[in-house]
Structure 1
Amino acid sequence: MVNVAGLLELNQKKDAQKNALTWGSSQVTYGELFEAVLRMAAGLKEMGIKKGDRVLLMLPNIPHFPISYYAVLAVGAVVVPVNIMFKEREIAYQIEDSEAVAAIAWEGFTNDLLKAREKTESLKHLLVLGDNIPDDAIHLTRFISQHQPSKGIDEVEPEDSAVIMYTAGITGHPKGAELSHNGLSYAIKVIAETLRLTDRERVLAVVPFFHSFGGVVVMNAGLYGGATLTLAPRFNPQEALEIIANDKITVFAGVPTMFQMIHDYPEYGDYDLSSLKYCLSGGSHLSEELLRRFEERFNTYVLEGYGLTETCAAAAFNNFKRERKPGSIGYPLEGVEMKVVDDADQDISIGEIGEIVIKGPSLMKGYRNRPQASSEVMRNGWFHTGDIGRMDMDGYFYLVDRKTDLILKGGFKVFPQEIEEVIAAHPQVAEVAVIGIHDQVMGEEIKACIVPKEGTRVNPAALLEYCHERLANYKCPAILRFYRELPKGPTGRVMKKELRLHN
């Protein structure tokens, strides 16, 4: 079956009584999960949600995320995951760009969602999980329970969009990468098979499902493989250690920041982690030193991989089929081609440094409403990642740098221009440049270099509060530095390289 939601049906038929999800003391079997999906799908159809409609999903890692995700897909509609840390301005942008007709959210996120809806025109329906829901919203739990299951999953065309996942991409504002049912299904299957995510595994699902790593590698591939996912709505090193020990977790998937925080937790020795077979690292580069120290401390095995939203999170992974090379991002997955090219898009020799480009069945269709941006990164069938790297003689790839100023903080992509626009609008700011600086825990932290307007004095605390009102917390600067002037080149462009050198 082409529809991604059909991947769930396979395990429901195989073993309906097996636990698909655990959350605290609650369990959801594969049979119960699939029934809830069909009930919700019936309700969505009755509501008027049809093939091709976009539906926002703003939920943490709780059972209602996969239920809603697969229900939307089951009726042929398109899932638009929203970062749960987003504020009004960021949500409004995604609603407007995707032209979403409905939103499914947890009650704690509705204040910003309602404000965002007032600034847009397309959003007609709001389903909310919780007890305190807006007057014009539909109670999600009741909505699911009051409908009889639909007869099955709607058919879709292979190239129909399944998910629009917003990413900073290589340049500019966040762009909606349109992922097809065919591309996403391929990625899910090859990831599950390569990483051995089978019905024997118990996976700690703490990487957010709205993130491509969490949504594709953990949720989709995990459920396709028949694993049991233990859901954690937020990451805390102590809670993660407790869950691994108590639930006998066999696979932990996390971004490097999580590995660092677990490694550094003082009472790590109080927890029995002997059940842990292996760990998966993605989202940003895991240093060889941290990988080595983590493996030694917890007597486990860490596999690092590489993928982007635009590739359905599937590109390369160190895996069980080949020799692992610490420090590398691994070997291309089955069906995926990767190479390194120069600025003229010409192949370069083994070991030389250039841009990593990718070809394969899991590539995005393109950026929604951005034909020019799509053509800039998709050339001659190859996706240009903007990542600088090299390939060794065995075909393994290594990341060296990035072409852009994109900041990778705790596994999230942060585009400096978005932050600069917010800070530049402050009445006391004349100029601003935002850069990423190395941080041992987060990978990179955000630093704002600011020139105040003449005759004014910027209050740092007030400026940070101003940022937090307009940006997701992880996008807000951790460091503010004030300058009389910023270094500039002959064209007047701020020389961020100089700012980094004098960090």
Structure 2
Amino acid sequence: MTTSPSRRAPARCTLDQVVAHWARLQPERAALRWQGSAEPPLSWGQLQRRIVRTAQALRADVAACEAVAVVCASSNAFHVLVNALWRLGAGVVLVDRNWGPAIVLDLISLVGCRTLFADAAQAIPAIAGVRRRAIPDLTGDDVAVADDTAPVEPDVDRVAIYATTSGTTDNPKCVVITHRQIRAAYDACLSAHDFGAVASCACLFEVNSLGVLGVCFLLQREIGAGTTVFPSFSLANIGESWQAVMVGEFGFVYLVPPLVRLLNTLPPQRPEARHLLAFCSAAPVAEAELRRLESRYALRAFNSYGLTELTFAVFFGCRAEDGGASESIGRPVGIQARLVDDAGQLVPGAGTGELHIAGPMLTAGYLRNPRATSASWDAGWLRTGDIAERDEEGRYYLRGRKKDVVLRGGYTYYLHELEHYLRRAPAVVDACAFKGRDLPSGDELCVVVQAVEPIAAEVLLGWIREHLGATKLPNALYVWHCALPRNSNGKIQRNVLSQLHLQGRMHTEETT
């Protein structure tokens, strides 16, 4: 089923104008709420008034088409600022608050930002040539003012977001996303599912990238649905938070595989008044796990699939032939998909191969990185690096990854990114990151470095924490003083290192 056009925002408008549309139609309905937090709720009317006032306050300093960095935050002020920048025609560079200074500096230098917004609690160091500004907070001041910031004609081809995706060539890699592209992705999602009964979304994750911002906020705004944020949610209080989701009037929730596994261990709750729509992402959840989830809670769960290069999810799951949950990521909606075998030939009908995708939401390539672009883009098609299977009915299933990534705590960690920065660490000349064991929180992230002089693992862990952020800390780190194993093409053999780790034969202390 598809979402009725009457529930959708007008097609030709920018993301900030979507907010303005719903502020006119439903000014008193809640747009943002914060469960168990001192952060006050915002109606659509209040949100729009603050966006206008913030845009007026910033327009002397922010030029149209300028790239402005914003450190992600879970607050009303963050969402107001991002929309105000869009209203001024600026592009927003999303900065993860957990990144270390080395990653932030590389990204800002790559994009060419002159201004960075962050709240007072965020420890972002001074960067030469970049103005550091506090995120404006207009709490308590919702006086209506004349709106003289709205453009005469919406420019949907302006840049909305600069989003990062670390990969295998250079770091960081960044894609440029226009308002038209990101809204095309949301349109495909609304065409794949009926969001007609969704009035509010439950957001269990902090905003740290386009992923959560897109699925829990921007997508919901396409249909005028509000978002309730659970800022204190953690795996430690999952039972309390999930109970609030079950008894609340929510129509949508975003889940990740480790969370699904934990929810399946909690006492079942089945309020019969409505069925919650749940998207599972980061990695496919097994069909048995999804069916167990649906049997315990009043929801319908779907595996979704997307990449930053595609702005959002582009597969949105489907039901199995018996009507139950399916492991499939679904059929193509609003996109073209094909499978290519190892010889570079198209796979006809049912079969397995690398998944290639084309569509109106596909970005043009990596910013200022032609080598990486040519490696992943092929005449309007994106080589995803993921292996997929297509069945006789045209349903797709993910079967593996060509890309070297680790999925931990619901997030994707790119191994080459960690290696890239570790080679800058003291005494380190080479580094390899690899997947170890399967842990309750996801994949075990392991690292081995080649050092030219004695250095303790604790020193390197401290360097990672300081320069890359605590979320990049590996579960296990090894220090070698000999060369890392490589194949005949000169590539490090991750599989060899992974086997040595699993067999306990790395011959150095393990640090967890």
Same fold (TM over 0.5): yes
Corresponding residue for 2:157? 159
Alignment of 1:9-408 (within 5 A): 9-24=20-35, 26-45=40-59, 47-109=60-122, 111-112=123-124, 115=125, 117-118=126-127, 120-121=128-129, 123-124=130-131, 126-128=133-135, 139-141=136-138, 148=145, 150-154=147-151, 155-169=153-167, 171-198=169-196, 200-233=198-231, 235-236=233-234, 237-245=238-246, 247-264=248-265, 268-269=266-267, 277-319=276-318, 326-333=326-333, 335-343=334-342, 345-408=344-407
Aligned 8 A contact 1:194 1:321 in 2 = no
Residues 328-369 of structure 1: CA deviation (Å, up to 9, x unaligned): 111212x21111112454311334321101111111132222
Query: Offset at 1:249?
Result: 2.9
Secondary structure at the counterpart of residue 348 of structure 1 = coil
- CA displacement at 1:85 relative to structure 2: 0.8
TM-score (normalizing by structure 1): 0.86
Provide Cα deviations, 1:481-500, integer angstroms capped at 9, x if missing partner: 45564333235432112223
Cα distance change of structure 1 residues 354 and 215 upon mapping to structure 2, 3 Å threshold: same
Match of 2:6 in 1: none
Paired amino acid for 1:330: G
1:145 Cα shift? 6.5
Q: State the Cα RMSD in Å.
A: 2.8
Report Cα offsets for 1:466-495 as digits up to 9, x if no partner: 211111222211112455643332354321
Whole-angstrom distance in 1 between the partners of 2:145 and 2:109: 33
Shift of 1:68: 1.6
Local SS of the residue matching 1:355: strand
The offset of 1:27, in angstroms, is 2.0
Give 1:212's aligned amino acid: L
CA–CA separation in structure 2 for the residues paired with 1:300 and 1:199: 13
CA distance in structure 1 between the partners assigned to 2:98 and 2:119 by the alignment: 12
Three-state SS of the structure 2 residue aligned to 1:153 is: coil
CA distance in 1, matches of 2:145, 2:91: 22
Q: How many residues align structurally?
A: 480
- In structure 2, the gaps of 5 or more residues are 1-11, 503-512
Which residue type is aligned with residue 27 of structure 1?
P
Distance 1:418 1:403 in 2: 16
Give the stretch that moved more between structures: 306-315 or 399-408.
Answer: 399-408
TM-aligned CA distance change 1:196 to 1:472, over 3 Å: farther
- Higher mean alpha-carbon deviation, 223-232 vs 168-177, is at 168-177
The change in CA–CA distance for 1:54 and 1:156 in structure 2 (over 3 A counts) is farther
In structure 2, the CA distance between the partners of 1:234 and 1:178, relative to structure 1 (3 Å rule), is farther
Alpha carbons 1:331, 1:397 under 8 Å: kept: yes
**Quick check: 2:305–2:314 contact (8 Å CA) kept in 1?**
yes
Between the aligned partners of 1:195 and 1:244, the Cα distance in structure 2 is: 21
Q: 1:170 to 1:362 in 2, by over 3 A?
A: farther
Identity of aligned residues (%): 22
What per-residue deviation string (whole Å, max 9, x for no partner) do you get for residues 220-274 of structure 1?
Answer: 111121212101335412453243145343322122222233334xxx3397766
**Higher helix proportion (structure 1 or 2):** 1
Q: CA separation of 1:385/1:438 partners in 2, compared to 1, >3 Å: closer, same or farther?
A: farther
Q: 1:400 to 1:197 in 2, by over 3 A?
A: same
Residue identity opposite 1:396 in structure 2: R
Whole-Å Cα distance in 2 between the matches of residues 464 and 84 of structure 1?
A: 19
Tell me the residue number matched to 1:466: 463
Is contact 1:198–1:227 with CA below 8 Å preserved after alignment?
Answer: no
Partner residue in 1 for 2:491: 493
Question: Alpha carbons of 1:105 and 1:95: their partners in 2 closer, same or farther (altered >3 Å)?
Answer: same
SS in 2 for 1:164: strand
Structure 1 residues not aligned, in runs of 5+: 129-138
Q: Is the 8 A contact 1:62 1:231 kept in 2?
A: no
Q: How far 1:447 moved relative to its partner?
A: 0.3
